[in-house]
Structure 1
Amino acid sequence: MASTVDNLSVVVHGAGVIRLENQSIPEPGRNEVLIKIHSVGICGSDVHFWQHGRIGDFVVQKPMVLGHESSGAVIKVGCDVTHLRAGDRVAIEPAVPQENDDFCKIGRYNLSPTIFCCATPPGNGSLCRYYVHNANFCYKLPEGVSYEEGALIEPLSVGIHACRRAGVTFGSNILICGAGPIGLVCLLVAKSMGAAKVMITDLSPERLLMAKEMGADITLQAKRETPQEMADAVCGHLSGMPDITMECTGAEVCIQTAIYATRSGGTVVLVGLGSPMVNIPILNASTREVDIKGIFRYCNTWPMAISMLVSGRLNVLRSLVTHRFSLEDSLQAFETAHQGLGIKIIIRCDKDDPL
């Protein structure tokens, strides 16, 4: 039976309609835990669902709670849960496969067609006071790792998965297109994995300054050049062509630049999501054996992310947070995100731990 105690939630009703609503508190199932949510980051996808009511084939057809970058404290466990107990602080991995299919068996559960994702239609997200989630996808936060850092593990995981797919290793020279939150976490992870030199580009000088503060070796403000001209500028500043390019904008011109800039035999990883159809210089990539790889979210990344945070090598991660709002002020937080202000916005959901 669900409780009617205060469970303030941020709910999208379709394109342009977002509201604060009080919902019931759900009961955890046998393999689930009830979590008192503490911190939730606003992702670009949350803003997109609010503004457009859809992302690709995922359409908001009924009211849906937003939010999937989250952490909190377990307050109740299902009868079959043995590795968590009330009081444990946890980070939440939002995507949960519903069946143990072939993709799960080979460790690539993010590709399972039966995956369930919070804050992706029709699944409710975690931007609320209380949220129920599969216990196997909740990870204990060690002492010294804050709730905010726990929420940031979700975007950090995108960076980890991208760097793994790219084959980042000691000595890699890397270009990152885009200094938004995802480009910046790719930068942090690449440096932690031993990249020798990381260059990052963006239109915004403010974001490039943040990238420099977070360890970028070279920053370059993108101009309105052709893709080939931009690629030439990249290679000039980098004193050569990068081994790996991580494209984090989704913009067609940046994808083209990434291919032209990457050395023969190198790798381009498409991290950003943009138009479903783009024109790319495929002959250039093919004749130079430039591998083009996609990524879809992440898999098997939360344990590594937590280890990296515990090691202290990612203390700078918290610098991504430029704005903080209470749950009651969530609509203002979304307006701030929509205006493109700051880097990462965190909403504090726990009214017992105010800002």
Structure 2
Amino acid sequence: MIKETTKQDESTRLKSTMKAAVLTEIRNIELQQREIPTPKADEVLIRVQAVGLCGSDVHYYEHGKIGNFIVEKPIILGHEVSGDIVKVGENVTDLKIGQRVSIEPGATCGECFHCQEGRYNLCPHVEFLATPPYDGAFCEYIAMRADLVFPIPDSMSYETAALIEPFSVGVHAVSRGKLQSGETVVIMGMGPIGLVTVAAAKMAGAKMIIGVDLEQTRLDVAKEMGATHTINLRKENLEEKVREYTNGFGLDLAIETAGNQNAVQGTIASVRRGGRVTIVGMSPQDEVPMSISNIVDKEIDIMGVFRYHHTYPKAIEMLANKEIDIEKIITNQYTLADTAEAFEKAIHDKTNTLKIMIYPN
């Protein structure tokens, strides 16, 4: 059952269908009519306002799979979401119609070992938006479990609220890397995840933040996100510049976000003895050669990062203070009807494209 409707959700009550951008086969997205979902007792219905286009969305669009996750039937992509609550399930007491919200896209079981341990990002039963077989948010309305829906301040835009999801990856990467105020960090790859990780490192109090990439335009944005130094690998040598910037000592922490074999190897070379490495990016090669002698001799701690946990309240608070304008990573904006064009833009213009934002309503 659903709570009594008000004027605020009257338009939803009168409509039964919505528009959705549906991936029907590889590199083919169709605008279709779908039934507006009915929220369960513990869910809310959200009118979607902004959705970020993620690299994983592009991978499903272009290849039809990521690892063991295979698109076997038409799917709605998109998991970086913000919007407005328009209906509330009968058991939901801490949310209300009209609230502007950011959405955590992974519904975990809450009962397995990992959920009970507090690392629910490792839950094997997670139902994650836009990960086969679960539909995502490139549509006008979605129903979400209430505990995954977080109100945002009136001063926060829908765009920033949608970017809470990728920013959470950066927050978790910095946390896994145990970055302390006053420490030094290098971040490999200045794509959207690398850039928001720069912002997270800045807010964590890092003294030196080095952004590394092949594209100068991305390095320029990295400076706006909080990087103190940059290294352009087309012109500069990573190890030489790290020695120069750290007086030969090396860095406390290296974070790899590029999903690149050379970047993984660069993290090992960049950190000091006793340093730490955090790997976020997923390399196309399942196995990447690394210098075991370097890892052992320098006694390096290496950590993997898978999504995030318990980041949303903190991330919303961090971005609400406007210390860093996270929206500087947004380079393109499209309507829902132009979703297919947005995907093609992401594929064919990687140099000039960072984060694409899509507006279903």
> Which residue does 1:193 correspond to in 2?
204
Does the 8 Å contact 1:99/1:114 carry over to 2? no
The answer to whether structure 1 residue 257 and structure 2 residue 256 are counterparts is no
State the Cα deviation string for residues 145-175 of structure 1 (Å, max 9, x = none): 1111100000000000000000111111000
Picking from 276, 292, 296, the partner of 1:282 is: 292
Does the 8 Å contact 1:231/1:258 carry over to 2? no
Does the 8 Å contact 1:119/1:125 carry over to 2? yes
State how 1:15-34 maps to structure 2 within 5 Å.
15-34=26-45
Task: Give the superposition deviation at 1:3.
Answer: 8.6
Deviation larger for 194-203 or 318-327: 318-327
> Which residue does 2:245 correspond to in 1?
237
> Which residue does 1:101 correspond to in 2?
112
> Which residue does 1:218 correspond to in 2?
229
Picking from 148, 152, 165, the partner of 1:141 is: 152
Q: d(CA) in 2 for partners of 1:281 and 1:8?
A: 51
Unpaired segments ≥5 residues, structure 1: 351-355
Aligned residues: 346
Does the 8 Å contact 2:109/2:115 carry over to 1? no
State the Cα deviation string for residues 113-156 of structure 1 (Å, max 9, x = none): 11110100011001100111111000001110111110000000
Q: d(CA) in 2 for partners of 1:325 and 1:5?
A: 25
Q: d(CA) in 2 for partners of 1:214 and 1:88?
A: 29
| TM-score, length of structure 2 as denominator length | 0.92
Does the 8 Å contact 1:252/1:280 carry over to 2? no
> Which residue does 1:7 correspond to in 2?
18
Deviation larger for 41-50 or 267-276: 267-276
Unpaired segments ≥5 residues, structure 2: 2-12
State how 1:73-152 maps to structure 2 within 5 Å.
73-152=84-163
Q: d(CA) in 2 for partners of 1:4 and 1:100?
A: 36
Task: Give the superposition deviation at 1:96.
Answer: 1.2
Picking from 324, 332, 340, the partner of 2:341 is: 332
State the Cα deviation string for residues 212-255 of structure 1 (Å, max 9, x = none): 12221101101388xxx632332223433110000111111110
State how 1:316-331 maps to structure 2 within 5 Å.
316-331=325-340
Does the 8 Å contact 1:266/1:289 carry over to 2? yes
One-letter identity of the residue aligned with 2:254: T
> Which residue does 2:58 correspond to in 1?
47
One-letter identity of the residue aligned with 1:231: E
State the Cα deviation string for residues 276-323 of structure 1 (Å, max 9, x = none): 221111221122111110000010000001111222223x11111111
Does the 8 Å contact 1:3/1:24 carry over to 2? no
SS of the aligned residue for 1:243 comes to strand
One-letter identity of the residue aligned with 2:136: G
SS of the aligned residue for 2:345 comes to helix
> What percentage of aligned pairs have identical amino acids?
40
Does the 8 Å contact 2:21/2:337 carry over to 1? no
Q: d(CA) in 2 for partners of 1:277 and 1:222?
A: 23
> Which residue does 1:353 correspond to in 2?
none
Q: d(CA) in 1 for partners of 2:246 and 2:45?
A: 49
> Which residue does 1:269 correspond to in 2?
278
> Which residue does 1:248 correspond to in 2?
257
Q: d(CA) in 2 for partners of 1:324 and 1:17?
A: 20
One-letter identity of the residue aligned with 1:270: I
One-letter identity of the residue aligned with 2:114: F
> Which residue does 1:38 correspond to in 2?
49
> Which residue does 1:307 correspond to in 2?
317
One-letter identity of the residue aligned with 1:236: E
The answer to whether structure 1 residue 70 and structure 2 residue 100 are counterparts is no
Q: d(CA) in 2 for partners of 1:211 and 1:238?
A: 19
One-letter identity of the residue aligned with 1:299: H
State the Cα deviation string for residues 258-281 of structure 1 (Å, max 9, x = none): 111111111110011112221111
State the Cα RMSD in Å: 1.7
Task: Give the superposition deviation at 1:17.
Answer: 2.5
Task: Give the superposition deviation at 1:335.
Answer: 1.2
| TM-score, length of structure 1 as denominator length | 0.94
Cα separation, partners in 2 of 1:3 and 1:289, compared to 1, 3 Å: farther
> Which residue does 1:342 correspond to in 2?
353
Q: d(CA) in 1 for partners of 2:149 and 2:123?
A: 19
Task: Give the superposition deviation at 1:337.
Answer: 1.2
